Structure formats: C-alpha cells, structure tokens
C-alpha cells in the first residue's frame, strides 16, 4: 500500500503538483476508498447476507430462528461490518502515531460496544420469547430475572465505555465503585427489593400472569398482564391499568382469585332478612296451598307423616301449638330454597352447598345462601345471582313470610292515616 502511495505522490509531483498538495490528494483518496469499502461491507451484509439468511430461516421448520429474525439479531450484527472496516483501515490513512488514529479507533470501539450490547439484548429477548412458549412459562415467569441479566450486561457495557473515554483499566473502575456502593444501593433500592420479591413470588407461586388478584390498598382488581423486576401490571375490570411495585405483593396483603377459577365454581354468599313477626307454624289451609308447589310436595307429605307418628307415639296434646313438633313456614321456605337450587342448572352441586340461618339481629332473621355457581364469568355470575334472588323474593309471600326492610316515609304516612 505504501509503495502505491509513493508512486501516486511521484506522479502528482511529476505533473507539477506541489508535494504537500499531492499528499493531501492521497489522503483524500484513501478516505474515499475506506468509505467506499465500509459502504460495500454494509451493503453486502444488509442487502445480500441478511437476505440470504432470512430466506433460509423462513424455510426451516424450527421457531427459534424466526424469533432471532423477529428480534433483529442479524440486522444489528450487520452494523458491525462498517465499524470493523474503519477500525482496521484507519491505520492506513494516517500514521499509527497520529492522535487521529486513536480517536477514530476509540470511537469505533465505542460504536461496536453499543452494537454488541444491542445484539446481546436481542438474543436475551429471543431466549425469553422461546421460554414463554413453553407450557410452564405462565406459572413461572422469568421476566424479572431477564431484567437482572440485562442490568448486569448494561453495567459491564458502561464500565467498558467509561474505561475507553477515561483511558482507565476496567478493573480499576470496578474497584473504585466500592467507594460509592452505598449510593448505588440507595439508587437501586427498588430494583434490589423487586429482585428479591420476584424470587419469592416465583418460588411460592403467589402470582402468575393471567391470575385475577384484588389489592384494595393499590386500587387493583383485575387480571395480571405483566410481571417485571420492579412492577406488576394489573388490568382492572374497568380496563384501567394499575401498576403495583413487585415488593408490595410480598410486604402487603392481596387476594388471588385463581384458586376459585381453578376450582370450577364461584361462590354465591348472600342473605335474605326475614321479618321475624311473619314466622309461624303452617296451618291446614297454608299446608294445602304449599303442597301445590312441586319441588316441596314430597318433602311436605313425608314431613307431615313423620310428625304425626311422632306426636301420636308421644301422646302429644295437639290442642296447643306449643306441644309436639310442627312444620314452620320458615323451615319450609328454607327447604324450598334448597330444592330449588339443587335443580338449578347453574349451581355446582359438588361444592359447598349450605342454606342456613344466621344470628337474628334487629334487622330480622338472615337466611344465607352459600353455594357455588358453575359459571365463573363475572357477567354470567352476577346474572345467576340476580335470577335466584329475583325468584326467591317474588315467591316468599307464598309462604306467608315477609322480607325485613327499614320503614320508609310511605310507611309512616300510612300509620298517620
């Protein structure tokens, strides 16, 4: 190369060009030549090599190479080609002792470090994409760990960049970081807490993507859509997004409804308050009326015979209602609810099924329905609940029972009239 430059310089001098101008012309030609070579390297890698790789990947049956293509791993690698050309050819343009060589080579190295960082970032994202396609990835998300790896790689890249800019050994820079360790711990406090919390969440299977969680302290009630190192994103049922610090899920209480969804049922727990003044024994007239209700007719016939035998066997004086055993309208209504829900197509009969009295209060006697619907979708679940209580509240008068409710202005008006 030097012989060629000397011949060109002799030629410029021979045709009457000043020696200094001839050297400048040679320098300009070298710069143009290196730029052209760098452009050709860039063109070859991006337009030809990448096109060949893309066509080859599309023909393969595996998915992981498609993900490499999607994450632009090869495209980012191609950016290294012109930087490598400039790094090695700069010594030809300028003398090795020239400060320009050091500056341009340092700039090339910085550029290659940044490109290398982007390539590694793409590869890590690709590995994460491959992992997320695995069947157990939903219950064991690794996005938090991926972010830790990225932070470590970024940290190494920053150290290398600083070592080049400051012309210091990377080892000396790392050693010097010990003096500011306390500051780093303060700056990365949330990251450290998030990392610890991510390990606990993953190890204990506390939260997975897709789980329905409720956390009133953070105004979150919906499905988990993302778990990262520092935050957990929850899409609430009103379509808003709540962002919760990852460590908050460990340090604070929250409710995970995933167990309910996995069980196949959703709990219905609601009461009807009965006015206790309407509770009474069933007389013959009411008994005949209730026997027309198909769901409880067998129960009533069997119960009547059972009580007759008991009272007769024990010589009960039935002239007084206090004596012996009798059928009450509240007990019959409770039995009706039980039979009605057992034949209801939306009630899960294989799960907890209770129709019970709660402690009487100044608001009457609560009859609590504690069952599970077999449809977990929120809208359907609410509709099932509403249909059940619409029916029960509408037919409760057939049992000569009254629902308790606080008196209103209309009630007081009737009293005064």
Q: Does domain 205-263 have CATH number 1.20.1630.10?
A: no
Beta bridge partners of 369: 270, 355
Instruction: Confirm if 169 and 162 have CB atoms less than 8 A apart.
Output: no
Query: 48: buried, middle or exposed (CB in 10 Å: 19+, 13-18, 0-12)?
Result: exposed
Place of tokens 């509770």: 279
Q: How far is the C-alpha of 266 from the C-alpha of 347, rounded, in Å?
A: 9
Q: How far is the C-alpha of 144 from the C-alpha of 125, rounded, in Å?
A: 12
> Which tokens belong to 122?
């793409």
b/e 157-187 (16+ beta carbons within 10 angstroms → b): bebbbebbeeeeeeeeeeeeeeeeeeeeeee
User: pTM of the prediction?
Assistant: 0.50
At residue 234 the predicted structure's pLDDT band, cuts being 50, 70 and 90, is very high
Instruction: Confirm if 73 and 123 have CB atoms less than 8 A apart.
Output: yes
| Closest of 309, 287, 208 to residue 249, by C-alpha | 208
> Which tokens belong to 252?
């604070």
3-class secondary structure, 245: strand
pLDDT number for residue 354:
94
Could you report the per-residue pLDDT of 264-320, keeping only the tens digit for each?
788 899 999 999 999 999 988 999 999 999 999 999 999 989 888 888 888 877 777
- Cα 162 → chain centroid: 37
Could you report the per-residue pLDDT of 348-399, keeping only the tens digit for each?
988 889 999 999 999 999 999 999 998 888 889 999 999 999 999 999 999 9
> Which tokens belong to 13?
């001098």
The full set of domain ranges for the chain reads: 2-199, 205-263, 266-408
Quick one: DSSP state of residue 45? I
Residue 261 has pLDDT above 60, yes or no: yes
Instruction: Confirm if 201 and 140 have CB atoms less than 8 A apart.
Output: no
Could you report the per-residue pLDDT of 158-213, keeping only the tens digit for each?
888 888 887 777 777 776 666 566 666 666 677 777 777 776 776 667 888 888 89
b/e 309-337 (16+ beta carbons within 10 angstroms → b): eebeeeebeeeeeeebebbebbbbbbbbb
Q: How far is the C-alpha of 62 from the C-alpha of 151, rounded, in Å?
A: 30
Could you report the per-residue pLDDT of 65-110, keeping only the tens digit for each?
778 888 888 888 888 888 888 888 777 766 656 666 777 788 888 8
- Our separate counts of H helices and E strands in the chain read 18, 8
Q: How far is the C-alpha of 23 from the C-alpha of 17, rounded, in Å?
A: 10
Helix, strand, coil share of the chain (percent; to 5):
60, 15, 25
Q: How far is the C-alpha of 360 from the C-alpha of 415, rounded, in Å?
A: 26
Instruction: Confirm if 229 and 148 have CB atoms less than 8 A apart.
Output: yes
Other C-beta atoms within 10 Å of 133: how many?
10
Instruction: Confirm if 271 and 367 have CB atoms less than 8 A apart.
Output: yes
DSSP string covering 367-385: EEEEEEES---HHHHHHHH
pLDDT number for residue 156:
86
- Cα 364 → chain centroid: 44
> Which tokens belong to 81?
């080609």
Q: How far is the C-alpha of 338 from the C-alpha of 6, rounded, in Å?
A: 107
What is the H or E stretch that residue 36 is in? Answer: helix 19-43
């Amino acid at each position: 190369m030097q012989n060629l430059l000397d011949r060109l310089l002799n030629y410029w001098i021979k045709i009457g060009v000043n020696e200094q101008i001839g050297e400048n012309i040679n320098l300009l030609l070298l710069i143009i030549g290196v730029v052209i070579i760098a452009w050709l390297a860039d063109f070859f890698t991006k337009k030809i090599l990448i096109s060949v790789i893309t066509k080859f990947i599309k023909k393969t049956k595996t998915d992981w190479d498609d993900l490499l293509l999607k994450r632009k791993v090869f495209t980012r690698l191609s950016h290294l080609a012109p930087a490598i050309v400039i790094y090695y050819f700069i010594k030809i343009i300028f003398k090795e002792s020239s400060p320009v060589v050091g500056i341009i080579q340092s700039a090339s190295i910085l550029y290659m470090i940044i490109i290398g960082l982007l390539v590694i970032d793409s590869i890590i994202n690709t590995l994460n994409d491959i992992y997320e396609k695995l069947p157990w990835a939903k219950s064991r998300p690794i996005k938090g760990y991926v972010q830790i790896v990225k932070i470590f790689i970024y940290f190494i890249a920053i150290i290398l960049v600083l070592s080049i800019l400051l012309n210091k050994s990377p080892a000396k820079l790392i050693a010097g970081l010990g003096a500011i360790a306390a500051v780093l711990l303060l700056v990365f406090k949330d990251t450290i807490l998030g990392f610890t919390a991510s390990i606990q969440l993953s190890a204990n299977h506390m939260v997975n993507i897709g789980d329905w969680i409720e956390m009133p302290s953070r105004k979150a009630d919906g499905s988990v859509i993302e778990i990262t190192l520092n935050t957990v994103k929850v899409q609430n049922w009103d379509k808003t997004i709540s962002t919760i610090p990852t460590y908050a899920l460990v340090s604070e209480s929250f409710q995970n409804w995933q167990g309910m969804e996995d069980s196949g049922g959703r709990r219905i727990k609601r009461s009807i308050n009965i006015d206790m003044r309407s509770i009474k024994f069933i007389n013959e007239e009411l008994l005949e009326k209730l026997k027309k209700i198909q769901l409880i007719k067998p129960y009533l016939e069997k119960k009547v015979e059972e009580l007759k035998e008991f009272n007769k066997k024990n010589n009960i004086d039935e002239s007084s209602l206090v004596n012996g055993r009798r059928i009450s309208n509240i007990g019959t209504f409770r039995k009706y609810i039980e039979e009605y829900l057992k034949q209801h197509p939306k009630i899960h009969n294989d799960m907890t099924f209770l129709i019970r009295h709660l402690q009487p209060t100044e608001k009457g006697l609560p009859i609590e329905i504690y069952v599970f619907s077999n449809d977990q979708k929120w809208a359907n679940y609410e509709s099932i609940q509403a249909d059940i209580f619409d029916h029960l509240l509408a037919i409760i008068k057939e049992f000569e029972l009254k629902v308790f409710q606080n008196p209103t202005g209309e009630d007081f008006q009737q009293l005064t009239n």
